[in-house]
Amino acid sequence: MNAPATKNFRTDKFDFWSFFFSGLTGLATLFIIGILAVILGNIVWNGWTGISWHFVSTIPTKDFFDVKTTGVLPMIVGTAFRVIVMTIFVIPVGVITAIYLTEYASNTSIITRIIRAAVNNLAGVPSIVFGLFGLGFFINFVGKNMDAVLHNTSAVWGQPALIWASLTLAVMTLPVVIVATEESLKAIPPGLREASLALGATKLETILKIVLPQALPGIMTGGILAVSRAAGEVAPILFTGVAYYMASLPSHLSDQFMDLGYHVFVLSTQSPNIEQTRPILYATVLVLLMLTFALNIVAILIRARVRKKLRAMH
Amino acid sequence: MTDTLMPKLSVNANDPGAVAGSPFIEIENLSLYYGASKALKNISLNLDEKVVTAFIGPSGCGKSTLLRCLNRMNDLIDGVRIEGSMKIGGYNINAKDVDVIELRKRVGMVFQKSNPFPKSIYENVAYGLRLHGVKAKSDLDARIEQSLQGAALWDEVKDRLHTSALGLSGGQQQRLCIARAIAIRPEIILMDEPASALDPIATARIEDLILELKKEFTIVIVTHNMQQAARISDRTAFFYIGELVEFGPTVKIFTNPAQKRTEDYVSGRFG
C-alpha cells in the first residue's frame, strides 16, 4: 500500500448540518440562560434597594402596603416552617415507600403496578387540587375528628393550620422523593446486596447497613428537589393554612401562618396603591428567592458532607 | 445469633441425621426451574469434606445455578422452583424450616466480581462478625487479623486497615472478600469464578490460597478456566445444558474422561 506521504486527514469540506445543529443546541442553551438572567436580573435590580435589616426583621403591625411600616419576618418564618415540617414528613414516608417498591415488592405484581401508577399520577396532579384535597381530607376529616375526639369546644385542629399546609405539601412532593430514592436504590450494585446476604445478613440488616447508607446522597437529592418545589408553591396552602395577616409569629402546629409566596400575591392584587407597593413587592420576591436558595444550600452542604463521609468510608 | 434450626453441618458432629463416613454434600435428583424452563436436570452428585470440587462447563450449563443452590442464593430470584433433595451433613437444606441465615453463615460465598463493601478494610471483615454477635473490640481485632492472614492479605494491609477497601487492587479486593467469608468460620466456601476478572499473578495467588484453604474448608469452585480446574481441584464435575455429564477425580476427567462430550470440552474442541 503506497499511500501518498503528504496525505493528512484534513478536509476542506464545510459540514453544514453539523454546524447547523451544534449552533442550534448552543442557541437553545443561550436562550434558557437568557430567560433566567432576565428574571433574576430584574428582581435583583429592582428588589435589592428594598431589602434592609428592618424589612426582614419586622412584624408589620399597621399597613403592610406602606414601605415605612412593612416587614416580612412572619412570612419568612412561616415559609421556612412549612417547608421544614413538610420535609420531616415527606422524607420518611417517601423513603419507606421507595424501599418497599425496590427491595420488597415483586415487579410483576398488580399491587406494585398500581402503586407505581399512583405515584406517577400524583406527580401530574395540579397543585390547586392538592390544596382542595388538603382542605377536604386533612382539615375537614382528620382535623374535625381530632377535635371531636379531644372534646375541643372550639375548632383547634379542624381549621387551616401550619401542620395541614405542610402535610398537603408533603403529599404533593411525595413522588419526587419516592422516584429519587428508587433511582438511588437501583443504582447500588446488586453484588453488594448479595455479598451481605451471603454472609448471613437478613434482608433488613442488608438494607439498613449496606443499602441505605449508600443511597443517602440520592435520597437527599430527592429532599432538595422537594424543598425547591414546595418553597414557592402557593396553591396547596391557600385553603390549608396560609393567612392574609397575622399579628404574631406562628408558635404552634395548629397556628395559621403568613407566607412569602402568598404575600407576593396579596401585594400584587390587594394593594390600594400599586406604584407605592412595587418596591415592597420586588423586595419580597427577592427574599423568597434567597430563602429558597438558602434552604437548598443547607441541604446541598449536608449532602456534600454525607458524600465525603461515604468516600472516606469510615 | 438465635438458636439454630439446623444441626452442625459437619458429618462427625452431634447430628442424628448424618452417618459418619457418608458424603458431606449429597445432591439427589435435583432439578431447578426458572419459571417453565428447566435449568438443572435431575442432578445427583456427592461431594466430600475438605476437598476442592470444580464445576466446569460452557456458559449457561447451570454450574453457577447449582453452586447457588448450596447456600440458597437462588431464593432471591423470583419464580425459581427446586425439586429433589440437597443435603449437607445429612440435613436437607431445601426443607421449609431451614434457617437460611444460619445456612449462609456455614456456607460462605465468594463471587465472580469482587464486591467489597464501600467501607474500610477492617469494617469489611467486621461486618459479618458483628452480624453474628462478635462485638468486643479485642475479639474483632483478633478475628480480623486471623482472617486476613488466612486470606494471605494481612502483610499487605496491616498498616492501612482503616482505609477504604475500594483502594485495593482487584486481586487484593478478591482476597479481602475471601477473608470476609472465612471470618465467620463457615464449613463450606462456594467460589463463583473467583479469579476470572484477575490478571495471571493475582490469579496464581488466589489459587495458592485455595490450596491452603482446603485444609480447613470444603471448597466448591465454578471456573471457566480449564487449567485452573486441573491445578487446584481434587474432583471435577462437567455440566452441559443443565445436565451433569461426568463427575470424577480431576485427573481422570482431564486425562481419561469416560464421555465423549467431556473429552471434547476439556480438550477445547467446543465450549
With a CB-CB cutoff of 8 Å, which residues 156-185 of chain B face chain A? Answer: 162-166, 177, 180-181, 184
For residue range B215-239, what is the model confidence (pLDDT) as tens digits?
A: 999 999 999 999 999 999 999 999 9
> At residue A311, does pLDDT exceed 80?
no
A contacts of B76 (beta carbons < 8 Å): 194, 197
> At residue B68, does pLDDT exceed 80?
yes
Which residue is listed with cell 476439556? B266
Q: Are A160 and A256 in contact (CB under 8 A)?
A: yes
What is the Rg, in whole angstroms, of the alpha carbon atoms belonging to chain A? 26
Tell me what percent of chain B is helix, strand and coil, each rounded to the nearest 5: 35, 25, 40
DSSP label at residue B238 = E
* CA angle in degrees (0–180, nearest 5) for A17-A20-A22: 105
pLDDT of B207 reads 95
Residue type, A27: L
- The partner residues of B91 in beta bridges, in order of sequence, read B88
Rounded to the nearest angstrom, the minimum Cα separation between B217 and chain A is 16
Q: Are B92 and B151 in contact (CB under 8 A)?
A: no
> At residue B16, does pLDDT exceed 60?
no
Tell me what percent of chain A is helix, strand and coil, each rounded to the nearest 5: 70, 0, 25
Q: Which band of pLDDT confidence, cut at 50, 70 and 90, is reported for residue B129? A: very high
Burial of residue B79, with CB atoms counted within 10 A of its CB: 0-12 exposed, 13-18 middle, 19 or more buried: exposed
A204 touches chain B (CB under 8 A): no
State the Cα–Cα distance between residues A210 and A212, nearest whole angstrom: 6
- The partner residues of B174 in beta bridges, in order of sequence, read none
For residue range A10-59, what is the model confidence (pLDDT) as tens digits?
A: 777 788 999 999 999 999 999 999 999 999 999 999 999 989 999 999 99
pLDDT of B139 reads 95
Task: For chain A, give the longest Cα–Cα distance.
Answer: 101
A190 touches chain B (CB under 8 A): no
Q: Kindly state the percentage of chain A with pLDDT values over 90.
A: 77
Work out the average pLDDT over B152-179: 95
CB contact under 8 A, A199 and B177: no
For residue range A8-21, what is the model confidence (pLDDT) as tens digits?
A: 777 777 889 999 99
Q: Which band of pLDDT confidence, cut at 50, 70 and 90, is reported for residue B107? A: very high
Q: Which band of pLDDT confidence, cut at 50, 70 and 90, is reported for residue B192? A: very high
C-alpha cell at A81: 416552617
The distance from CA A41 to its chain's CA centroid, rounded to whole angstroms, is: 23
> At residue A255, does pLDDT exceed 80?
yes
DSSP label at residue A11 = -
C-alpha cell at A67: 414601605
B34 touches chain A (CB under 8 A): no
State the Cα–Cα distance between residues B243 and B239, nearest whole angstrom: 5
C-alpha cell at B168: 485495593
> At residue B21, does pLDDT exceed 70?
no
HSE-up of A247 (CA within 13 Å, CB side)? 2
Q: Which band of pLDDT confidence, cut at 50, 70 and 90, is reported for residue B15? A: very low
Work out the average pLDDT over B201-226: 93
pLDDT of A312 reads 65
What is the Rg, in whole angstroms, of the alpha carbon atoms belonging to chain B? 19
pLDDT of B143 reads 96
Average pLDDT, chain A: 91
Task: Compute CA distances B228 → A2, B97, B105, B231, B252, whole Å.
Answer: 47, 37, 27, 5, 15
Q: Which band of pLDDT confidence, cut at 50, 70 and 90, is reported for residue A307? A: confident
Task: For chain B, give the longest Cα–Cα distance.
Answer: 57
Q: Are strands B188-192 and B37-47 parallel, antiparallel or unpaired?
A: unpaired
For residue range A90-148, what is the model confidence (pLDDT) as tens digits?
A: 999 999 999 999 999 888 889 989 999 999 999 999 999 999 999 999 999 999 999 99
CB contact under 8 A, B115 and A310: no
| B39 CB-near residues (< 8 Å, 6+ apart) | B32, B33, B62, B65, B242
